[in-house]
Structure 1
Amino acid sequence: MSFKFDAEDLDYKDVLKNICKKALLPFVIESILNIKPLEFFELKTRQKCIDDAINVIWKYSDPRERLQDIAIDSLINYKNHLPFSFKNYFGLLLFLRAVSSIREFFLKTELTSNFFYDCSLKLNFPQKFFNLLVNIFDDEGNIKDSASEKLGEIRKSIKKLEKELNGLLNDYVRGENKKYFQESIVLERNGFYLLPVKIEYLDKIPGTIRDTSASGLTAYVEPYICAQIVSKIRLKKEEEINELKSILISLDKNFSEYRVLIQECINFYETVDFFFSLGKYAKENNCVKPEFVDEMVIDFKNTKHPLLSNPVGQDFFLNENLRGFILTGANGGGKSVALKNLGLNVFLALSGLFVHASSAKIGPFKGLYSDLCDIQDLSLGFSSFTYHINRLKHFLENDLTDSIILMDELGSDTDPKEGYALAKSIIKYLLKKGAFVCITTHIAELKITNIEGFHIAIGAMEYDKNSNLPTYRLLWNSVGNSHALDVAKKMGLPSEIISDAKKYLLSDQVYNEMIKLSELTEFYYKKIEDLNDKERSLEKEKNFLEKKFNQLESAMKEQYEEKISQLNKILSSVDLVAKELKRNLNQPKKDLVLESLKKWEELSSLINDEILKKGENPKDNIEINIGDYVNISTMNISGRVVKKQGRRSLVQTEKSKIWINNSLLTFERDESDKKLERERINTFNVLNNLKSVGSNFEISVRGLRAEEAIQKVEKFIDKSLISNIPYVRIVHGKGEGILRKIIHEILEKHPQVKSFNLADPHEGGAGVTIVHFK
């Protein structure tokens, strides 16, 4: 079923005109002005494209650049199937250059799920035709000499002849004939080469007069002396024109071959221009993407009319159980604007556009009809009343199921009693037809009426009694007074009339009931305001407590980090001890080594104590993170956390992966702690080996023959590896460096050698090589 609407009075055309200001192409402007509500399944596609455009603008920028008029003219010629000139082809070149730039922009974003990235990826760009145009035109649109080989030769000949001609004429005007000329210059006009001859010396300069000055004192003469060269130039220029015609014919042929790809580029650019215009408007006006749902509902929050300078946000809600509303309130209080506000944003939403609201939800409505104007046309026999009845009759010619009908001042402009009866019957009839009915009224009885079998809401436009001015706020579950007497008084009507009118009103039962209802509503809204104040106060207190909690949490975190810092300082001390051990290994006295070992063991014990303290934090203060080494207390199994999900963690144990609640996990000494312990034990073993090896961590091969030195070094390395010594010194002396070179070749090939280097100058320099084992 096609969506139907009759809502020319909703101001949507003015909104579409504002969107058009964001467009670059005239045909896109036309497309925007023709936007209409879509079928429900089409809405999400348009919405997705607008959303993708906004995302690109937010993350990067608007990729469009305003095209030059010459490019737009070329596209107009193309769409109208008119022949192309060189100027049109240059315009097409500028257009294709813009398309190429936009395409490259989207591909560089790498937003692979973005509609425009996908379009750019699929675009078949006419690269060969584009290159052809680039070879023909320079940046100013002039045809290059290299456009064809023949054209280049012709222009080269023309330049040569023109140079020859200028030389001849310049010599002529500067020679003995100089006194006959007003100026010593050569002019070119319309293909003629002219000299400015004083009028009294015309007989001295043989030639053809082509023009005269306004004063009549100068004649512009084409001298006979240049006739032969000029004739050659003109012939060459005719050849140039013929060659340009050939180039244009060739362009036409290529243009025809690439027409399909060019059309694809035009479609691409128009699509980008269309959706980026919609997206840019939505972004700049803080519009939101409406949520489309399968149930018949309208739920708009803080909806605003975009054509008002300082609009007041209004909430609207309709669903299957609440199928309409009646708005009441003062004259000029904004009832009609509220209906337009709703209708306009419904139109935008059902057209796949973003809406002027803070949030919006809408269902698959099938029609939108509005009667918000007050038109009288005596030539057609229409009064206000008959105009509205005629509009309603027109609406009733359609299937109104799941359609929205907006009517302003229903039942007015006729007898109040008959108007009330007719209005109530119209509302009931429309509701029975399956429509959603939204109306405004001043009829008192209609404000408090019930429609049998249907539930409709009552709303009022707020009126400030103190200032006697409307606030334009829409208050639901409230009945508004028309405030006709207040308005009349404000406009200067005599007080006697106002007082007399009040007496009549006080005797009206319906009016008195409405006053009571209005007072109850005011009381109700005051209670709501009090509750809102309490809610704000509680929210403020909640924020204060959260701030306090965060401060305490931060303080605990600082204490924890301070403990870690202390541990790091201890580890730094351990590193210093390790370095001291290495230095002492170079000393022949074992007591120094044993002293260092004692320091190491003391520090190692201290480290273990700190690690145990680190594990004493209460579970509540410990946050399990990916990468933590933990123990599953119920299974006594250890492993590493590889994934988290809420309060559960996935633990990789030695044999399997297990999902476990975080409350059942405790921290294990992690791998870095265990590594530190292993290094301490290894170092202890090394030192024990050193006790037995003594000072055999160094060998001297100075003065030995190469073969002896090789055997001795290889045995020494094997013995050192068995003793688990981390590094050794080989003294080979400096000399001519022969032994050093041989030993280094052995070390390079040895599988257990991690690295080797010459010693520091104070430890033997180039005469000693220090070897580190794996």
Structure 2
Amino acid sequence: MIDSSFQQIDFLQFKEHLKKHSISQFSSDFIDELTPFNSTSKIIEEQNQIREALDLFGDFGGELPDSRNYYQFYKKLLDPYSSWLVVDFIVFAEFHKKLGEFKKSVFGDFDVNHLKTLFSNIYVLPDIVDDIFSKITNDGHVKDDASDRLREIRKEKKNVKEKIYETLNSLINGKDSEKFVQERVIKEYSNRLMLLLRPNFRQFINGIVHSISGTGMTLYVEPSNVVEMNNRYQELISLEEIEVNRILQKLLDCIKSKSYEITETVNSMKKLYYFHAIFSYVGERDYVFPNFSNKIYVEKLHHPLIYDLKKEKSVPIDFEMTEDVNVAIITGPNAGGKTAALKSIGINTVLGRCGLPLFARCAELINFDKIFTDIGDQQSLVMDLSTFTSHMVNIKHIVDNSDGGSLVLLDELGTGTEPKEGEALAISIIEYLMDRGSRVIVTTHFSGVRNMAYRYKGVVLYGVDFDYENFEPKFRLIKGLAGRSDPLIIAGKLHFNESIISRAKKILEEYSSLEILSADELNRLKLDIEKERYTLEELKRSLEIKESELLVKENELKKKLNAKEEQILSDALSILNKVKSLKVRSNNNKEVDEIKSNIVKRMESLDIGDHIPDVKVGDMVKLSKYGKVAKILEISKNKAYVDMEGMKFTIELDKIRGEKLSVNQKKVDKEISVSAVVERSPRYEIVLVGKTVDEAWDELDKFLDKAILSGWNRVFVIHGRGSGALRKGLHNILKSDQRVKNFRIADIKEGGDAITIVELL
């Protein structure tokens, strides 16, 4: 239950603002009816749905179906006295067809969880949609074959019309026709076909006059020899209309038989359009979903309407009411931001209870049963009530109805009457509300109300920060600070007469005591300390952000260095393989093998990219070491068998480093690597046609290194036929290469003598 005017805490204004981001009248209606949830579990459920919807609209490339025409269709469906047009059925069919496409695209690209129930209540109704499209054209005409009866009627109607045209054409093109024909056209008038003749037509033909033009010179005449045919033509038109109405009524009955499904669909789509409005409203700004407990704690909380208006110039507030605090008193000068802070806490509490995200760094709220407010000018001219009396009427209602589950927001309590009595009344009201267990946030200028923070447990004091040098409010709340109203300082900044200000100071000195002056000095010291603490906290956060950025850069640099080292080691391995292939002395080969082994070990120890945990068969991963996408084919113990763009090899699970691809990335990857997946036995080949022996060997040498590192057993070397010099030169080198088990010319099925097949160790 919300027992207060939403207008006072800007909730109604917020709803109007949110509606500006709506793309459907359905969501605008939903926003109009928006009220907070009473159950915390309902709030959390709504938060989860909105959170998932924001992710969906952020990732989803499609659009929600346009509902403008369907909104009017649904209004008609609810009205038993509505008249229906043929185009209404096309509106229904088009919308539900689009719904089907929308659902299919969402479930194809997005993992629906919290929105599953919502989507399950969206009914596509394909049978009715197909039936409508089979009977009605897109431009809203019932098709001839919508029924056998309609086909017969229209066929006969067409034949009768053709006979009438034939008869009438013979008259207007016959002998002496120019003497009585006004225009050589055939007109349809009141569903009867007739001619435009002159007044003397009876000298030449018999006929019935149906109408005369204003000048009396043109007569609409139905010749006697087409009267019977026109009678039948008119009858067929009526029969056609009856059959069309019968077909449409049958379709309408089918639609109405699905009233439950249509209503469920509309309710679900209302929420989706509403979620889309939230997505559009939030934009790129940071937000949080509040937690709910027995305390209020907000950090960097913006008033949403002020945030929209001032953008980055909006000043957020920090505010806290712990479990043992019942009253928060906000003090400070006029125009310092007290009321704005009060409204900000009020509206964000309501928005949080609606399940909506808040513009804040973090937020923890209480799920109050009731929220009461007394903010702004309460004067009622209609009831002949003064401002103070109107406030008292409202506050009486609050006092009578508040309890331990209530949040009470009071702006300038007790003002508008004799100050001392107003102050006493304000203190008494706050004490009463404390006894009822209500949480109270109050703004005040009264020192007596302010001093309650020093006399009562469970009362916390906040002061608004104010720049007296530039005469500007800072709109920031400082806990523990007793904010001053400082009317004399403000009067001075407004250039009041100096004699008035001097006299006021003397009067103030008469009222003041040493104790009060000391309290003011202590208060100013508190303000300086709070400002210093705030500055240090902001500096600390800034340093933490910079430290985080440095760590990211350090990790990126480490990855780049590892990648560079891996490239250098790979090149070194290639050089060692060249050396070994030259058949140098056996003792030197032993030393080469030892160096090669050390390089391989070092390459395996490099951490290139982040480790990917919990990989499963079917996952697509981008391996940082190779910069390519691989698919996990099998997992056995601590190893995985992968397919990297056609190259299949085994890799230890803790060596799988890089990133796991999302659903959309998988989709793209599937499109890219179709040929590799389809080919059962991929040929790992290199084309060297047209190169010299030295050029060809330089490329083949690196290719063999890659083949061995990738675990290939066989490669195809395409050198072409030509003179045979390239083939012979490569064969001579391959004979002495210790990486090669054997090689042979490919048989005809494998490509013939233009290809050499190399088996690797």
TM-score range, shorter chain: 0.7 to 0.9
Structure 2 residue 320 is matched with structure 1 residue 317: yes
Give the structure 1 partner of residue 293 of structure 2.
Answer: 294
Give the structure 2 partner of residue 413 of structure 1.
Answer: 416
Give the structure 1 partner of residue 571 of structure 2.
Answer: 566
- For residues 408 and 315 of structure 1, the distance between their equivalents in structure 2, rounded to whole angstroms, comes to 19
1:29-48 alignment, distance < 5 Å: 29-38=28-37, 39-48=39-48
Q: 1:612 aligns with which of 598, 616, 623?
A: 598
Structure 1: gaps (5+ residues): 578-595, 629-638, 644-656, 659-671, 681-723, 731-739, 745-754, 764-769
The alpha carbon displacement at 1:553 in A equals 4.3
Q: Is the 8 A contact 2:295 2:364 kept in 1?
A: no
* Between 330-339 and 195-204, the greater mean CA deviation after superposition: 195-204
The alpha carbon displacement at 1:346 in A equals 0.5
Deviations 1:534-572 (A, max 9, x none): 647856985897699669747853663354133232255
Give the structure 2 partner of residue 79 of structure 1.
Answer: 78
- For residues 18 and 504 of structure 1, the distance between their equivalents in structure 2, rounded to whole angstroms, comes to 49
Q: Which amino acid aligns with 1:611?
A: S
- The count of corresponding residues between Structure 1 and Structure 2 is 643
Deviations 1:316-337 (A, max 9, x none): 2222133332222222333222
The alpha carbon displacement at 1:134 in A equals 1.8
- Cα distance change of structure 1 residues 262 and 614 upon mapping to structure 2, 3 Å threshold: closer
Q: Is the 8 A contact 2:27 2:274 kept in 1?
A: yes
Structure 2 residue 512 is matched with structure 1 residue 509: yes
Give the structure 2 partner of residue 101 of structure 1.
Answer: 101
Give the structure 1 partner of residue 670 of structure 2.
Answer: none
SS where residue 344 of structure 2 aligns? helix
Give the structure 1 partner of residue 528 of structure 2.
Answer: 523
Structure 2: gaps (5+ residues): 614-622, 624-635, 641-652, 655-704, 714-739
Q: Which amino acid aligns with 1:606?
A: V
SS where residue 309 of structure 1 aligns? helix
- For residues 250 and 242 of structure 2, the distance between their equivalents in structure 1, rounded to whole angstroms, comes to 13
Deviations 1:65-109 (A, max 9, x none): 32243x333311322344663544444334433433333333223
Give the structure 2 partner of residue 66 of structure 1.
Answer: 66
Q: Which amino acid aligns with 1:609?
A: I
SS where residue 457 of structure 2 aligns? coil
Deviations 1:101-141 (A, max 9, x none): 3333332234132414x543565543322222222211122
Structure 2 residue 450 is matched with structure 1 residue 447: yes
- Cα distance change of structure 1 residues 213 and 442 upon mapping to structure 2, 3 Å threshold: farther
Deviations 1:487-533 (A, max 9, x none): 44565654432332233234442774564245324422442365357
SS where residue 332 of structure 1 aligns? coil
1:489-504 alignment, distance < 5 Å: 493-504=496-507
The alpha carbon displacement at 1:60 in A equals 0.7
Q: Which amino acid aligns with 1:473?
A: R
Q: Is the 8 A contact 1:210 1:222 kept in 2?
A: yes
The alpha carbon displacement at 1:407 in A equals 0.3
Q: Is the 8 A contact 1:410 1:423 kept in 2?
A: yes
SS where residue 241 of structure 2 aligns? helix
Q: Which amino acid aligns with 1:362?
A: L
The alpha carbon displacement at 1:406 in A equals 0.2
- Cα distance change of structure 1 residues 486 and 189 upon mapping to structure 2, 3 Å threshold: farther
Q: Is the 8 A contact 2:408 2:439 kept in 1?
A: yes
Give the structure 2 partner of residue 350 of structure 1.
Answer: 353
- For residues 93 and 750 of structure 2, the distance between their equivalents in structure 1, rounded to whole angstroms, comes to 66
- Cα distance change of structure 1 residues 433 and 725 upon mapping to structure 2, 3 Å threshold: closer
1:277-288 alignment, distance < 5 Å: 277-281=277-281, 283-284=282-283, 286=285, 288=287
* Between 293-302 and 126-135, the greater mean CA deviation after superposition: 293-302
SS where residue 241 of structure 1 aligns? helix
Q: Which amino acid aligns with 2:44?
A: K
Q: Which amino acid aligns with 2:464?
A: M
1:88-237 alignment, distance < 5 Å: 88-116=88-116, 118-121=117-120, 123=122, 125-175=124-174, 176-178=176-178, 180-198=180-198, 206-213=206-213, 217-237=217-237
* Between 613-622 and 559-568, the greater mean CA deviation after superposition: 613-622
- For residues 727 and 530 of structure 1, the distance between their equivalents in structure 2, rounded to whole angstroms, comes to 75
SS where residue 309 of structure 2 aligns? coil
- For residues 534 and 151 of structure 1, the distance between their equivalents in structure 2, rounded to whole angstroms, comes to 82
Give the structure 2 partner of residue 383 of structure 1.
Answer: 386
Q: Is the 8 A contact 1:106 1:120 kept in 2?
A: no
- For residues 558 and 125 of structure 1, the distance between their equivalents in structure 2, rounded to whole angstroms, comes to 52
Q: Is the 8 A contact 1:375 1:384 kept in 2?
A: yes
SS where residue 343 of structure 2 aligns? helix
SS where residue 368 of structure 1 aligns? strand
Q: Which amino acid aligns with 1:560?
A: E
Q: Is the 8 A contact 1:328 1:481 kept in 2?
A: yes
* Between 436-445 and 339-348, the greater mean CA deviation after superposition: 436-445
The alpha carbon displacement at 1:373 in A equals 2.9
Q: Which amino acid aligns with 1:337?
A: A
- Cα distance change of structure 1 residues 205 and 468 upon mapping to structure 2, 3 Å threshold: farther
- For residues 383 and 492 of structure 1, the distance between their equivalents in structure 2, rounded to whole angstroms, comes to 32
- For residues 586 and 25 of structure 2, the distance between their equivalents in structure 1, rounded to whole angstroms, comes to 83
- Cα distance change of structure 1 residues 146 and 537 upon mapping to structure 2, 3 Å threshold: closer
The alpha carbon displacement at 1:215 in A equals 5.4
Q: CA RMSD in A?
A: 4.4
Q: Mark the structure with the bigger radius of gyration.
A: 1
The alpha carbon displacement at 1:414 in A equals 1.9
Give the structure 1 partner of residue 15 of structure 2.
Answer: 16
- Cα distance change of structure 1 residues 521 and 620 upon mapping to structure 2, 3 Å threshold: farther
- Cα distance change of structure 1 residues 574 and 25 upon mapping to structure 2, 3 Å threshold: same
- For residues 528 and 558 of structure 2, the distance between their equivalents in structure 1, rounded to whole angstroms, comes to 45
- Cα distance change of structure 1 residues 355 and 173 upon mapping to structure 2, 3 Å threshold: farther
SS where residue 184 of structure 1 aligns? strand
- For residues 37 and 86 of structure 1, the distance between their equivalents in structure 2, rounded to whole angstroms, comes to 40
Give the structure 2 partner of residue 480 of structure 1.
Answer: 483
- Cα distance change of structure 1 residues 254 and 543 upon mapping to structure 2, 3 Å threshold: closer
- For residues 155 and 624 of structure 1, the distance between their equivalents in structure 2, rounded to whole angstroms, comes to 73
Q: Is the 8 A contact 2:427 2:449 kept in 1?
A: yes
Q: Which amino acid aligns with 1:291?
A: P
- For residues 339 and 26 of structure 2, the distance between their equivalents in structure 1, rounded to whole angstroms, comes to 34
TM-score, normalised with respect to structure 2: 0.73
Structure 2 residue 363 is matched with structure 1 residue 360: yes
- Cα distance change of structure 1 residues 532 and 276 upon mapping to structure 2, 3 Å threshold: closer
Q: Is the 8 A contact 1:625 1:641 kept in 2?
A: no
SS where residue 64 of structure 1 aligns? coil
- Cα distance change of structure 1 residues 6 and 375 upon mapping to structure 2, 3 Å threshold: closer
Q: Is the 8 A contact 1:96 1:265 kept in 2?
A: no
- For residues 227 and 53 of structure 2, the distance between their equivalents in structure 1, rounded to whole angstroms, comes to 65
Q: Is the 8 A contact 2:54 2:275 kept in 1?
A: no
- Cα distance change of structure 1 residues 204 and 559 upon mapping to structure 2, 3 Å threshold: closer
SS where residue 450 of structure 1 aligns? helix
Q: 2:333 aligns with which of 321, 325, 330?
A: 330
